[in-house]
Structure 1
Amino acid sequence: MNNLHYRPLAVAVSLCVGLMSSVSVMAQETPRVATDLDRVEVTGSRIKRAEVEGHLPIQTLTRTEIERTGLTSIGEVLQQLTGSGSALNAKFNSSGNFGFPPDGSGVGAGSAQVDLRHLGAKRVLVLVDGIRWVNESSASGVGSATDLNTIPLAIVERIEVLEDGASSLYGSDAIAGVVNIITRRNFDGAQVTMNYGEYSKGDGTQKGIDLAWGTQGDRYSLFLGASYTKQDPVYARTREQSRFPVPGTGLTFGSGGIPQGRFRFIDPNTGAVQDLVPNNGASTPNYDGSAGCSRSDDYHCFTTADRFNFAEYNLLLTPSERKGVFGQFRFDITDNLQWYVKALSNRRESTNQAGPEPLFFGPDGATGNPLADNITISALNPFNPFGFDLVSSDNMQFIGRRPVEGGARVFEQEVNTSYFATGLVGDFEAADRSWFWDVNGMYSKNKAEQTNYGSYNIFNIATALGDPAVCASTPGCVPLNIFGGVGSITPEMLQWIQPVVRDRSQNELSLFTANLSSELFTLPAGPVAFATGYEYRKYEGSYQPDPLTVIGHYNGVPSLPTSGSYDVNEAYLELSIPIFAKSALGEKLDLSLAGRYSDYSTFGGEFTPKYGLRWQVTDDFVLRTSYAEGFRAPSIGELYGSAARADLQIFDPCSIGLGGDAPRGNAANCAALGVPTGFQSANSQISVTTGGNIELDPEHSRSFSAGFVWSPWFANNTEWSERFDVEVTFYRHTIEGAIQAINAQTQLDLCVDSLDPLYCNGITRANTGAISSFNNRLTNLGSIKTDGWDVDLFYTLPQTDIGQFKLGWQNTFVGRYEALGAAGQRQPQEPGVEVADSSIPEWTSNASVSWALDNWNASWTVRHISELTEQCGDASAFPICSDQVAGTNKLAATTFHDMQVGYKVDWMKGLQLSLGLNNVFDKDPPICLSCSLNGYDASTYDIPRGRFWYARADLRF
C-alpha cells in the first residue's frame, strides 16, 4: 500500500493526541452516562450503528428547516448551504448563446443542481433513500449531474449532506460529497399544503399545492404524495441592474448584430472600408470618418449608439411548472422480512428566453457555420443596394442583422422523469449475532424535449440572399431583404427562413444492489462490525438534435448527435474496529476501514480505500478524522459528446476594447498572430467549439477531514442552556486529472502572451485579425486543490414564559482553491474571485434564530457572502469598474435577511399558517461586470430588487 495512505491518518492521530490533554481533565471531572440509541444507518456508512455522530461530518436538513426557507425546490434549498458552490437554478436563463458546455451535458436549462466545495455538480452524488438517482436530461446533451427539480420537495422527509469523499462506499461521482434525500414513509392521515408568493414588484409569482396521504397497519405502510408548483418569470428589463449587457456601460457591450443591419466591407470601386447602418428615414446621417468610413446617402457609419441591447429580452427568473406523484408501499412478510415498492413520475415544463437571434455573416462573424462565414450575397439580389457582390472570401468583413421581426428566441423544455424501485429488507439471527441485509432493484429515466422558436435556417437564408434565379427555382424560397432596416423582413420571408427546432435527449439508469451488515467477532473494546455488498449499474444516454441542426442548416449553436452506454460491477467492504473502550484515554476509539473495487466496461478497474478514526474522548466530546481516495468515471457526454459550440464572453487581448482602451496584448505578438494595428473585434462574444474525448481517463481524488463535535456538559440541561453544540471540521480535497477544458479566456491570453502552440493551436484568425475559430476540447487537467474549515454552533435555550429560542450559526471558510491545467497553467478560479458566472467566497455564513411559544413560532435567518473581486475586462474604461487602474472590480460583501412567522390553529390535526419575507431589506446583489447575463452572479446571490413574500397553509387531518 502506498505510504500516502498513511500520512493523513498520522496527522489525524497527532491531532487527537494533541487535544487529549485538554479534554482528559473534563473526562475525570464530569462523568456522564452515554445514551443508548437504536441502530441506524447514516449517510457515509453502510454499517448500522448506535452513534449518531460517526466518522464523517453529516449535515441534516429536517422538513421543518426546509419549510423555513420558503423555497419550493430541493436545489435552491441546498444551494444556500455554506459549503455549496455555483450551480444551475431557475435564476440561470441558460439557453441561447450559452451554447454547449464541453462536457457534452447540454446547458441544463430549467434544472436545479447542487455543487459542494466548488468542485462542480457532476462531482456530487445524489441518492434517494440511499440509492443513486438518474442524471438529468436537458434536451441539449447527455447530462452528468442530477437535476433536483426531478424530485418533488413535497415527498422529502429530510436531507442528509456528506461533504466528504465517499467513493469507497458509493462509487464514482462521490468526490465532493453525497446528498441523500430521505423520502416520507411512516405517515398516518392526510395533509394539504398550499403556498403563494411573489416579489415586491408584483412579478415572479410562485404558487403550489402538495397532497400527502398515508396509512399504516400491523404489517404494512402506504404513503402517496402529489405536488404541483408553478413559477412565473421575472424579466431583466424590470430591474435597473439587468437592463443592459454590462451595468453602467450603456450600449457599449451591446451586440453588433442590430435590427437595422450593420454592413462592413471593402468597396471594390474605391478600396475604402465601409461600416454602414441604414438611416431608417433619418434626415441627418451620422458621419464618422475615423475608420475610413464616410457617407452622404441613406446610410451612416456604425457607432456604439447603434448597438443592440439584447439584455431587455432576457429573464432574471425563468418560468417553470412542475407536477409530480410519488408512492411507496411496505409490507412485512414476516417479522424479519419486509418487501417494498416505490414509484415516481415527475414532469417539468420550463422556458428560457434570449434576444432575437442575430444573423452574422463574413469572416468576422465567426459563427463556426461555413454557410454563414463563407456566404456570398449576390449583386442581383433585388434588395442589395450596393450594386456588387458581397463575398466573404473577398470584400465582405462582417454583416450583422438581427431580425426582430421574428421575435425573441424562446426555448421550451419538457422533462419527464420516471422511477421504479423494489426490494427486500430483512434481518436474522445466526452465530449469536444479528444480521441485516437488503437487495434492491431500480430503473429510472429522464427524457427531455426542447422546442426552440425564433431561430433561423442559414441554408435557406443563403439561398434567399444569393442568385435570385436559384431562389426562384427553389420551392418556397422568397428573396430576403436584410438591407432595409427594421420591418424590411416580411412574414413571407420569415416563413422561408424561420423553422421550429426540436431537440431531444434522455438518460437511463438501471441498478441492482445487495448489502449485508453484522458483527464478525468481539475484541476487548467491543465487536468488530462490517458491511459488504455488490452493486451493478448500467448507464445509457443519448442526445438527438433537430435534423436541421445535424445537416448544418441551423443558424444557432451547432451540434451533432451523441449516444453511448456503459456498465459497472462493484463490490465493497467496510469495517468498524474498536481500539479501546472505557479506558484512561477516553470512552471509545474506533477505526473505520472501507474499500471498493469498480470494474467499468469503458476503462477497466479502480480500487478506492477509505480510513477513519472516531475517538469519543468523553460522553460529550468526539474527535474524528478520515482519509479517502476516490474517482469519477468520464460521463457519456464527456466521452462521446460530438462537436458543438458555445458563444462565450471573451475579451481579445489583441483588440481595441469596446470601451476604446488600447489592446492589452503584446503588440509584436499580436502582429505575429496576423492581427493588424487598430483592429477592433465586432463582438465581445466569441464562438468556442467544444466536444467530448474518447481518450479521457477517470479523475482521481484524495480527501481528508479532521475535526471535533463538542456538546459541553455545563451547557446541557442547565438553567441557561438546554443544549449547546460546537462542530469544527477541516477539509481538504485534491483532484488529479480533472476532466474539463482549460478556461477559454486563459487559453487566449496565454496564446497572445507566449505564442506557444500548446495554447495557440486550435485558435485561428481571419485576414481581418478576428478570431474565426476557437477549439477548446476536454482533457484531463493537472489538478484541483482546495481546503478550508467548517465551523458550526447550535444553541437551544430553555423553555420560559416568553417561549423557547434556538440559535444556529454555520460557517465555511475556504483557505485554498487552486486549479492547474495539464501543462501547469493556472486557472483563474481561487478564493475571493468571481469568474465565469461563479464565485468562491472566502467566507459564507448562515445564522438563524427561531422562537416558539404555544401556537406561535417565528424565525430570522441571515445569509452572508464575503467580498469578491473580478476582472473588469473591456469594462475597465468605465467608472463602474471600481479599480480602473488595476482593471478589477470589487463585489462588496453581501448579507441577506429572511424572516417567517407562523401560527398553529387547533383544528382537525392542526392547521399551520405561515407568512414569510425573504430578502427583508431588498438588498441588491453586487454588480458583476464579467457575468454573462443580468449583471450579477445568479448562482451566488438573490435577484436584484429581490424582496419576496409568501404565505403557506398546511392542514393535517
Structure 2
Amino acid sequence: MNTLHHRPLAVAVALCLLVVPALGSAQESPRPTTELDRVDVTGTRIKRAEVEGQVPIQTLSREQIEQTGLNSIGEVLQQLTGSGSALNAKFNSSGNFGFPPDGSGVGAGSAQVDLRHLGAKRTLVLVDGIRWVNESSASGVGAATDLNTIPLAIVERIEVLEDGASSLYGSDAIGGVVNIITRREFDGGQVTVNYGEYSKGDGTQKGVDLAWGTSGDRYSLFLGASWTKQDPVYASTREQSRVPIPGTGLTFGSSATPTGRFMFTDPNTGIAYNITPNSGVTNPTFNGVGGCDRTDDYHCFATADRFNFAEYNLLLTPSERKGLFGQFRFDITDNVQWYIKALGNRRESTNQAAPEPLFFGPDGATGNPLADNIVISALNPYNPFGFDLDSSSNLSMVGRRPVEGGARVFEQEVNTQYFATGLVGNFEAASRSWYWDVNGMYSKNKAEQTNYGSYDIYKVNMALGDPAVCAATPGCVPLNIFGGPGTITPAMLQWIQPVVRDRSENELSLFTANLSSDLFNLPAGPVSFATGYEYRKYEGSYNPDPLTVIGHYNGVPSLPTSGSYDVNEAYLELSVPIFANTEIGSKMDLSLAGRYSDYSTFGGEFTPKYGLRWQVTNDFVLRTSYAEGFRAPSIGELYGSAARADLQLFDPCSVGLGGTPPRGSAANCAALGVPTGFQQANSQISVTTGGNPELDPERSRSFSAGFVWSPWFGSNTTWSERFDVEVTFYRHHIEGAIQAIDAQTQLDLCVDTLDSVYCDGISRASTGAVSAFNNRLTNLGSIKTDGWDVDLFWTLPQSDIGQFKIGWQNTFVGRYEALGAAGQRQPQEPGIEVVNSSIPEWTSNATLGWSLGAWNASWTVRHISELKEQCGDASTFDVCSDQAAGTNTLSATTYHDFQVGYKIDWMKGLQLSAGLNNAFDKDPPICLSCSLNGYDASTYDIPRGRYWYLRADLRF
C-alpha cells in the first residue's frame, strides 16, 4: 500500500476527530468566539464574500513575498506547494529544447506558473481581476503568461485560487487562477535596493524599485519603476553540470565533434568505416584499412572521442528587466470613480548553447533534406577519401562541430505594453445597493530573438559540393570539415554563418461590464447575484528569419504562424442562503454560477459551477465545490506551422551504448527495417511538430471539498493568539487534453506493437535509423489528478522574547494519470521524473517567523519528496541507483532559507534585511533523463546553490 497516498486522509480524519469535541465545547461554552473576517477575494464576482468561501484561496502578502528573497513573481509562485513544473531562469531553452508542438515556441527567458501539474497554459493569470496578455518569446505564439512581464515592485499581494473557475473567468482557468493585485493607494515614497549572489561568486542579482504615491479628497496616484539584473551561472562552474549526464563521462556526449565523425562505406572495397581523425591532423591522406586496428591518420570512433557540449550551457540565464507602472484614480462623484492604468516593461535575456553541430547523411536525422541528402564531392579540396560521400549510396553520417564559430547565443528582447481604463461605481435602488464597473484594456507583447553562431545549411551544402559550382557563386568558399579544430577559417565562416532574427507578437483587447447586488431576501438572508459581459480578441503571429522559412537554417526549422479569434461571454453568479443561526449550524450558503462563451473558432460553450459553504460554528467551516470548465485551443495550437523539436530519444531497436542488447523485439525491429546489430549513432532525433486547426476545446470537471477550522480555544489564549487548520481535497479531470503523445512513448509503442496508430509518421533510413518523426497535436484521451492540501497556521502570543508565527503548507498528490487518444498510458504520474518535469507525491513549505521590537527573522524549510526515473542507456552506470530495474531514485530534498531584518526609525522607516537561501548548500539530485545540466531545473535549486542577499527599503 502507498502509505504516502493515504497520509493526508489520515491527517484529515485525525483533525476531524479533534473537531468533534471542539464543536461540542464551542456550542456549550459561554466563551466568546471570533467570527471569520470578511473581505473581497478572488473566486467570486459577488461583493463582500467571506474569505473562506466555497473554494480555497491562498494569499501572498507583500511581506511574505519579500521574505523569499526572490525578485520574480514567477519564482515566488513556483515555490507554492501546489505548483508544478514551469519555465524559469534555470531553463537554458534556446538551442536545446526545440519547438514544443503547441506552437508556443521555447519561452526563452520567461517565467510561468503551473498549478496542479496541469500545465502553465491551464492556469489563468489576472492582474486586478482582468486577464494578462500571453507571452511572446520570438519563437512562437505563446499560450501561457510570462510573469517576467509584470514587475514585482508593483505588486500589493497575490491571490491564488486553486480550483477550476471557467464559469467565473472563462477559458484557461482549469488548474486555477492567479490574481495579482497592484499597489493602489500609497502616500509618500519608497526606494528598495537589493543585491545578492551565489556563494561561488556568480549569478549576481541586483535591483532598484521606486514607488511614489499621493492622494487627495477625490483622487489617488501611484507611480512605480523597477530595474532588475540577473547575471549568468555557467554549467562549467559546477561539477554536476559539466558533463551531459553526471557519472557517465562522455558516454552521452555528441557524435558531432571538433575533429569530425565519419561513417561511410568505401565504394571501391565495400568496407564500412566509423572513424575520426587522430588529434592534430590538419589535412590527412586517407589510406585506411578496415577494423579498429589502424595505421593511418584515423582511428575508430569511440566514447572518448565524443564531444562534451554540457560545459557551454548555462545553469542560470542572464536577464535585465526594466518596468514603469502608473495608476490614477479620480472620484467623479461620490459614487463613481474613473481609473486609468498603464505599464511598460522590457526584458532583455540571453540563452547559450554549445557550438552548433553539423550533421550530414541519413543517420544524422536532422529532417533537413539539404543535410540528410547531401553529396560531399570528391573534388572538394579538403576531402581526403578520394570519392564522393553520397547520402543515397555510401554515406551514413558525418558529424562535425565547428567550434571555430563559437557558441550559439540567443538574445531576446521582449517589450510589453499595457493600458486599461474604466469606471467603478455604486448606487442605491429598490432599497438595496448596486455595484457596477466597466473596463477596457489593451495589451501587447512583442519579442525579437537574435541568434549568433548558427549556420546556413544551403551554403554549407554548396561549400562541400562541386568546387566549380562554389567558384561560380559570389562569396562561396570551399569548406573544410575534415581537418579538425582550427581548419574552418574566418573566410569559410563568413560564407556559412549568418545572424538569424526571429520575431513574434501577442495582443489582447478586452472589454468587460459587471453588476452585483442583492435580489431579494430569504429567511436566512439576501440572495445575492453578479452578472456581466466580456469581449476578448486575441491576435498572434510568429515570423522566423527568412533564412529559416526557405529551409536554409541549420538549426530548428519552422514556418510563420499567424491567427486571431474573438469571444463574447456572459455570466451569472448567485449566492443563496439556505439557513442561518439554527441548531445544525450558523449559516449555509449555496453558490451557483454559469458562463456562456461564444468563440469565433468553434462556437458556443456553457460552463456551470456549484458550491456549498456550511459555517457549522463561528470557527468551523465546511465547503465543497463542483465546476465544469474548458480551455479553447490557442493560436499556436490551431495555426502553428510545421516546426521541429530535437529530442533525446532512445531507439528500442538499438544496441545500448554500453553494448547491452536492444530492448525491443528482434522480430518487430526487423519488420521495421532495422538490421541486426544496429546502434543509434545520434540520440538526438528530430521530431516534427505543429498545430492542428481541427482541435476541439479541452473540457474539464473539478471537485474540491474540505474545511477551515479556527478553534476558539486557540484564539487569544496564553498559548495561542490564533490557530488555523485548512484541509482540502481536490480532483481535476480533463477530457480531450490538447497535446502530442510523449515522443519516447510513441516510439516505444511503435516497436512493441507495430500498430499504425503509433508507427504512422515514423520513418527509418536504410541503415535502420529513425529518419523522420511526425508528432502533431491532437485531443488526447484524458488527464486525471487528485490530492490533498493540508495547511496549518499558528500565531503565538507576544512575550518578552518576541512573537512567533508558524505556517506549514503541504500538498499530497494521490493520482496523476494521462492517457492518449487510444488509451496509451503516458509516463507522468506521482513520484515520477520525466521530460524535465516531476510530480512529487509530497511538497511542503514550513516557515517560522519571529519579531521583537525593531528586529524580525524567518526560517523557511522547503521539502520535495523522492522521485524515480528511467535510467535509459545510463542503466549500466553506477549513477543509476537500481541498475537491475533500470530506474534511478532522486532522493528527497530539503532546502533551508533564513532571513533577518532590522527596522530603523528614520523618515517613515528604513528596513534592512539579509538572507541566505539554500543555507546548507544542498545539491539537487542527479537526473539521468533530464535534457540539460544533470538536474530538473523546474523542481530544484541549481547545484552549489547557496545564495545570499541584502535588501534596504526606505520609506519617506
TM-score range, shorter chain: over 0.9
Describe the superposition over 1:68-104 as per-residue Cα deviations: whole angstroms up to 9, x where unpaired.
0000000000000000000000000011031100000
Change (3 A) 1:545 1:589: same
Checking the alignment, whether the CA contact within 8 Å between 1:93 and 1:315 is kept in structure 2 is yes
- 1:605-620 residue pairs with structure 2 within 5 A? 605-620=604-619
| 1:867-946 superposed matches below 5 A | 867-946=866-945
Deviations for 1:228-280, whole angstroms, at most 9, x for unmatched residues?
00000000010000000011000000000000011100001110111111113
Check if 1:444 corresponds to 2:432.
Answer: no
Deviation at residue 660 of structure 1 after TM alignment: 2.3
1:37 offset after TM fit, Å?
A: 8.6
Counterpart code for 1:362: G
Paired residues for 1:365-514 under 5 Å? 365-514=364-513
Corresponding residue number in structure 1 for 2:162: 163
The equivalent of 1:198 in structure 2 is 197
Q: Deviations over 1:565-623 (max 9, x none)?
A: 00000000000000000001110000000000000000000000000000000000000
Q: Partner of 1:597 in structure 2?
A: 596
Call closer, same or farther: CA 1:282–1:225 in 2, change over 3 Å.
same
Structure-to-structure mapping, 1:616-695, within 5 angstroms? 616-695=615-694
Name the CA distance, whole Å, in 2 between partners of 1:291 and 1:20.
81
Question: Deviation of residue 302 (structure 1)?
Answer: 0.7
- Alpha-carbon offset, residue 757 of structure 1: 0.8
Q: Scaled by the length of structure 1, what TM-score is found?
A: 0.97
Q: Deviation of residue 683 (structure 1)?
A: 1.6
Q: How far 1:895 sits from its partner (Å)?
A: 0.1
Shift, 1:809, TM fit: 0.3
Cα distance in 1 for residues equivalent to 2:94 and 2:50: 47
CA shift, 1:513, in A, is 0.1
Amino acid at match of 1:91: K
Q: CA deviation at 1:134?
A: 0.2
Contact 1:711–1:726, Cα closer than 8 Å, also in 2: yes
In the alignment, the residues of structure 2 paired with residue 855 and residue 391 of structure 1 have an alpha-carbon distance, to the nearest angstrom, of 77
3-state SS, counterpart of residue 443 of structure 2? strand
Mapping 1:185-224, distance limit 5 Å: 185-224=184-223
CA distance in 1, matches of 2:30, 2:302: 80
Query: Where does residue 744 of structure 2 map in the other structure?
Result: 745
- Counterpart of 1:588? 587
| SS of residue paired to 2:299 | strand
**1:722-761 counterparts in 2 under 5 A?**
722-761=721-760
Looking at structure 2, the residues matched to 807 and 226 of structure 1 have their Cα atoms a distance apart, in angstroms, of 33
Structure 1, residues 146-200: CA drift from partner, whole Å, max 9, x if none? 0000000000000000010000000000000000000001100000000000000
Alignment of 1:100-499 (within 5 A): 100-281=99-280, 292-293=291-292, 295-499=294-498
**Native 8 Å contact 1:97 1:557 kept in 2:** no
Kept after mapping to 2: 8 A contact 1:32/1:619: no
Partner letter of residue 880 of structure 1? Answer: V
Cross-structure match for 2:811 = 812
Q: Secondary structure at the match of 1:172?
A: coil
Deviation at 1:26, TM superposition (A): 3.7
Asked whether the 8 Å contact 2:84–2:839 carries over to 1, the reply is: yes
How many residue pairs get aligned? The number is 942
**Displacement of 1:950:** 0.2
- Structure 1 segment 56-71 matched on structure 2, within 5 A: 56-71=55-70
Contact 1:848 1:862 in 2 (8 A): yes
Following superposition, the deviation at residue 659 of structure 1 comes to 2.5
Aligned alpha-carbon RMSD (Å) = 1.8
Q: Distance in 2 between matches of 1:339 and 1:549?
A: 48
CA distance in 2, matches of 1:854, 1:429: 47
Unaligned residue ranges in structure 1 (runs of 5+): 1-13
Q: How does 1:818-857 map to 2 (within 5 A)?
A: 818-857=817-856
CA distance in 2, matches of 1:839, 1:257: 30
Task: Provide the secondary structure at the position in 1 that maps to 2:362.
Answer: coil
Q: TM-score when scaled to structure 2?
A: 0.97
- Post-superposition shift, 1:709? 0.3
Deviation at residue 787 of structure 1 after TM alignment: 0.3
Tell me: CA distance 1:145–1:648, structure 2 relative to 1, closer, same or farther (3 Å). Answer: same
- 2:624 alignment partner, SS class: strand
Segment drifting more, 39-48 vs 524-533: 39-48
SS at match of 1:334: coil
Distance 2:467 2:552 in 1: 20
* SS class of match (1:98): coil
Give the distance between the partners of 2:514 and 2:800, measured in 1 at CA.
50
Matches of 2:783 and 2:954, distance apart in 1: 49
CA pair 39-22 structure 1, distance change in 2 beyond 3 A: closer
Q: Deviations over 1:498-548 (max 9, x none)?
A: 000000001000000000000000000000000000000000000000000
Whether the 8 Å CA contact 1:200–1:948 is kept in 2: the answer is yes
**Structure 1 counterpart of 2:774:** 775
Q: Which residue of 1 aligns with 2:8?
A: none
Instruction: Work out the CA distance in 2 between the residues paired with 1:755 and 1:720.
Output: 67
Partner of 1:11: none
Answer whether contact 1:84 1:114 (CA < 8 A) is retained.
Answer: yes
Q: CA deviation at 1:53?
A: 1.3
Gaps of 5+ in 2: 1-12
Q: Does 1:571 align with 2:585?
A: no
| Secondary structure at the counterpart of residue 482 of structure 2 | coil
Relative to structure 1, the CA distance from residue 656 to residue 26 in structure 2 (aligned partners, 3 Å threshold; closer, same or farther) is same
Amino acid at match of 1:268: P
- 2-structure distance, mates of 1:445, 1:580: 48
What is the Cα deviation at residue 23 of structure 1? Answer: 6.2
Q: Distance in 2 between matches of 1:803 and 1:33?
A: 26
SS in structure 2 at match of 1:578: strand
- Aligned partners of 2:528, 2:508: CA distance in 1, in Å? 31
Secondary structure in 2 aligned to 1:896? Answer: strand
Deviation of 1:871 after TM superposition, in Å, equals 0.1
Give the deviation of 1:36 after TM superposition: 7.7
The residue matched to 2:96 in structure 1 has which SS?
A: helix
Matched residue, 1:93: 92
The one-character-per-residue Cα deviations of 1:644-685 (angstroms, maximum 9, x if unpaired) are: 001111111111112322211111111111111111111221
- How far 1:361 moved relative to its partner? 0.2
Contact 1:329 1:342 in 2 (8 A): yes
Contact 2:789 2:812 in 1 (8 A): yes
Q: Distance in 2 between matches of 1:99 and 1:732?
A: 33
Which residue identity lines up with residue 464 of structure 1 in the other structure?
A
In structure 1, the residue corresponding to 2:363 is in which secondary structure? Answer: coil
Describe the SS at the equivalent of 2:168.
helix
Letter in 2 for 1:652: D
Amino acid at match of 1:262: R
Letter in 2 for 1:859: S
- Is contact 1:246-1:253 (8 Å) kept? yes
**Residues 902-942 of structure 1: CA deviation (Å, up to 9, x unaligned):** 00011110000000000000000000000000000000000
- Once the 2 structures are TM-superposed, how far is the Cα of residue 38 of structure 1 from its aligned partner? 8.8
CA displacement 1:189-236 (0-9 Å, x = unmatched): 000000000000000000000000000111100000000000000000
Question: CA contact under 8 A between 1:520 and 1:530: conserved in structure 2?
Answer: yes
Q: Alpha-carbon deviations, 1:853-887, whole Å to 9, x = none? A: 00000000000000100000000011110000000
Identity value in percent: 85
Please say if residues 34 and 712 of structure 2, whose CA atoms lie closer than 8 Å, have aligned partners that are also in contact.
no
Match of 2:9 in 1: none
Counterparts of 2:187 and 2:791, CA distance in 1: 35
Deviations 1:411-437 (A, max 9, x none): 000000000000000000000000000
Q: What is the distance in 2 between the residues matched to 1:169 and 1:569? A: 14
Amino acid at match of 1:934: N
**Cα distance 1:663–1:36, how it changes in 2: closer, same or farther (>3 A)?**
closer
Answering whether residue 559 of structure 2 is matched by residue 560 of structure 1, we say yes
